[in-house]
């Protein structure tokens, strides 16, 4: 339990509103302090893009898992124990030499929490949400990703109950690597589709 809220008196308008809301929810019996603590703890320490990276690495080394992942992303996540809110239904879309995929939620910020965690601020912000459906190549270039001419590009706008994850291509020069080492190459951005794994990189 982080409990950091117990140690600082609210000062900013956001802190004051948050404390007031928590007070009312507690008084009404609609939430408990330890339940909030538990959720925060999960997202700070367990739920994050390392989960998705493990699934990607498994798909790279295990063709049968890859097929299960592409057939039903939520079931493939559950094999690792990942699942729940904002991940009840997951679709995995696969990059190939001919096709690149990128994910967005233009209306809000839908994102597969159980396997990627809390989305980064840029994913939730107007520039990304407005632009990537309309000018995805310009957006990918801003992320440093220039697709070869002729690559087809698919943008997935998560507008309903289905959440998306990109299965990137296994990079060249990784033949001798273990599944764990491979997972270390898979960044959050690779699974959103704004980056691709590099053999020399280390995932944040």
Partner 1 sequence: MDGAHDLGGKQGFGPIVREQNEPPFHEPWEGRVHGMNLASDVGPAFRWSIERMGAIEYLTTSYYEHWLASMERNGVESGAFTQEELDAAAAGVAAGEPVPVRVDAETVATALRRLSPHDEAGFEAPPPRFSLGDRVTVARRASPGHSRCPAYLRGAPGVIESVHAPRPILDVYETEGGRIVPQAWYTVGFRSTDLWDDPGPAHEVFVDLWETHLEG
Residues within window 12-31 making contact with partner 1, judged by CB under 8 A = 12, 14-31
Shortest spacing between CB 161 and partner 1, in angstroms:
5
Residues within window 105-164 making contact with partner 1, judged by CB under 8 A = 106-109, 114, 117-118, 120-122, 124-131, 133-137, 139, 142-143, 152-162
For partner 1, the binding residue among 61, 70, 78, 169 (CB under 8 A) is 78
Asked if 108 is an active-site residue, the reply is yes
By CB under 8 A, is residue 84 in contact with partner 1? yes
Query: By three-state DSSP, how is residue 156 classified?
Result: strand
Say if residues 92 and 73 touch (Cβ distance below 8 Å). yes
Kindly tell me which of 26 and 173 has the beta carbon lying closer to partner 1. 26
Mask: binding to partner 1, 182-201, rule CB under 8 A, as x and -?
Answer: --------------------
Strands 152-157 and 90-94: unpaired
Q: How many CA atoms lie within 13 A of 120 on its CB side?
A: 13
Query: DSSP assignment of 164-189, as one string?
Result: EEEEPPPPTT-TT--HHHHHTT--HH
Kindly tell me which of 177 and 195 has the beta carbon lying closer to partner 1. 195
Q: Long-range pairs for 66-73 at CB < 8 Å and ≥24 separation?
A: 66/167, 69/167, 70/94, 70/167, 73/112, 73/163, 73/165
For partner 1, the binding residue among 37, 94, 184, 201 (CB under 8 A) is 37
Tell me which residues are annotated as active site: 105, 108-110
């Amino acid at each position: 339990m982080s409990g950091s809220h117990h140690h600082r008196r609210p000062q900013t308008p956001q802190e004051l509103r948050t404390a007031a809301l928590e007070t009312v929810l507690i008084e009404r019996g609609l939430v408990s302090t330890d339940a909030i603590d538990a959720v925060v703890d999960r997202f700070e320490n367990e739920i994050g893009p390392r989960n998705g990276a493990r699934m990607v690495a498994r798909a790279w080394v295990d063709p049968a898992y890859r097929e299960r992942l592409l057939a039903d992303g939520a079931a493939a996540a559950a094999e690792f124990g990942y699942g729940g809110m904002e991940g009840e239904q997951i679709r995995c879309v696969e990059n190939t030499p001919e096709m690149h995929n990128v994910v967005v939620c233009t209306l809000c910020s839908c994102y597969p929490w159980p396997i990627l965690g809390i989305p980064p601020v840029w994913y939730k912000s107007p520039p990304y949400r407005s632009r990537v459906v309309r000018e995805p190549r310009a957006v990918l270039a801003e992320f440093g990703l220039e697709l070869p001419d002729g690559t087809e590009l698919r943008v997935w706008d998560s507008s309903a109950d289905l959440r998306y994850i990109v299965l990137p291509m296994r990079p060249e020069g990784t033949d001798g690597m273990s599944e764990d080492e491979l997972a270390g190459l898979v960044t959050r951005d690779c699974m959103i589709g704004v980056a691709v794994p590099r053999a020399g990189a280390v995932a944040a």
